[in-house]
Amino acid sequence: MIKPIGSDELQPRFVYDSDEHDKLSHEAESLPSIVVSSQAAGNAVMMGAGYFNPLKGFMNVADAMGAAENMTLTDGSFFPVPVMCLVENADAIGDAKRIALRDPNVEGNPVLAVMDIDNVETVSDEQMATMTQKVYGTDDAEHPGVAAFNGQGRTAISGPIQVLNFSYFITDFPDTFRTAVEIRNEIAERGWNKVVAFQTRNPMHLAHEELCHMAMDRLGCDGLVIHMLLGKLKKGDIPAPVRDAAIRKMVELYFPPNSAMVTGYGFDMLYAGPREAVLHAYFRQNMGATHFIVGRDHAGVGDYYGAFDAQTIFDEVPAGALEIEIFKADHTAWSKKLNKVVMMREAPDHSKEDFILLSGTKVREMLGNGIAPPKEFSRPEVAEILIDYYSNLPK
């Protein structure tokens, strides 16, 4: 199986030993504590689950700047985005060297992790501006990722963490949330050697389904891991439980047995386009995938990124930093001429009118009116689940 990044075995930051877990949980209740941002909580969950291997904790400002500017930390190791614990102020923790980090997304703010503090630093406006521009490619406050990143405060607390729980992801998505450790184990149990991963924050329509089949066939893969984001999205995106139900129905009906796993991970979407595509590849290697599908405008939002920027950025990744291979995909759609789904770049004799193309707005409008999109666009069983969701939204 493909090795994790930076170590021979995964080194998740979750405390699995039950005695140590109990001891640490008890200690945490007496430690100074701080409620972190949702983005920091997601970072803690990803470190706990092994996805950010070999990262041991939150970055100091120098490492965060290195990650933002050239995807390299001060020790020379590779990481594509800053992973920071930014707060409004650190007064609540005083001079403590060990603190509890509390979860902003669960009622009562339970302890999420314990941190050994290495540094408490003030991030300058100039540093925030540089990180924002390098990671998101824009400083537009209307960009949801930019707004979330810049809304966290300017005090950076850094140091290694020990994670005690996986926030609401375990309770809300018990059948879908999986750690990188668990996915690696299941890949081994299934006997898969060549594995392609597919990222989604949306339900999968026919074009997505066929793209996965194309990738599996062309790469000669044993299996597919459909890996959906379970954290916070922007307004208007379809909630994770609905996506989960739709995707599971599609896999049940249209994929052969033992060919696809439906899983999810706990993280807030960055909408950082190219830089987030590299992060997605990073943690897919850690979970055991050998290949990763990167499509048109991967992880983008609005018109901030070029159609294939999320593919060309991999040319900037330092040599040897990633072992996972990228399957570069174009937009896929139903060809009226060929009577099947194709990659649009592979149909040069086609005009736009030769494809069945529906905008997201049009699809939402149809579903909201109880109308299933054409079978060339969406599986009827998937459409039925989405129609049920839209019909129950407040009018």
Q: How far is CA 43 from CA 57, 58, 147, 163, in A?
A: 9, 8, 17, 11
Q: Are 96 and 47 in contact (CB under 8 A)?
A: no
Q: Is 392 a catalytic site residue?
A: no
Q: Which residues contact 174 (CB under 8 A, 6 or more apart)?
A: none
| First-to-final CA distance of the chain | 50
Beta bridge partners of 72: 78
The catalytic position among 190, 193, 202, 364 is: 202
Which DSSP string corresponds to 162-182?
EE---TTHHHH-TTTB--HHH
Q: Is 165 a catalytic site residue?
A: no
Beta bridge partners of 155: 87, 122
Residue 247 main-chain phi, psi, to 5 deg: -70, -40
Q: Are 355 and 336 in contact (CB under 8 A)?
A: yes
The catalytic position among 201, 243, 286, 369 is: 201
Rounded to whole angstroms, the Cα distance separating 225 from 255 reads 12
Q: Are 215 and 291 in contact (CB under 8 A)?
A: yes
* One-letter identity of residue 181: V
Angle of CA points 296, 43, 320, to nearest 5°: 60
Rounded to whole angstroms, the Cα distance separating 130 from 112 reads 29
Q: How far is CA 325 from CA 166, 259, 284, in A?
A: 29, 19, 10
Which DSSP string corresponds to 80-132?
SS----EES--GGGTT-SEEEEE-TTSTT--EEEEEE--EEEEPPHHHHHHHH
332-335/340-343 β-pairing: antiparallel
Which amino acids are annotated catalytic?
201-202
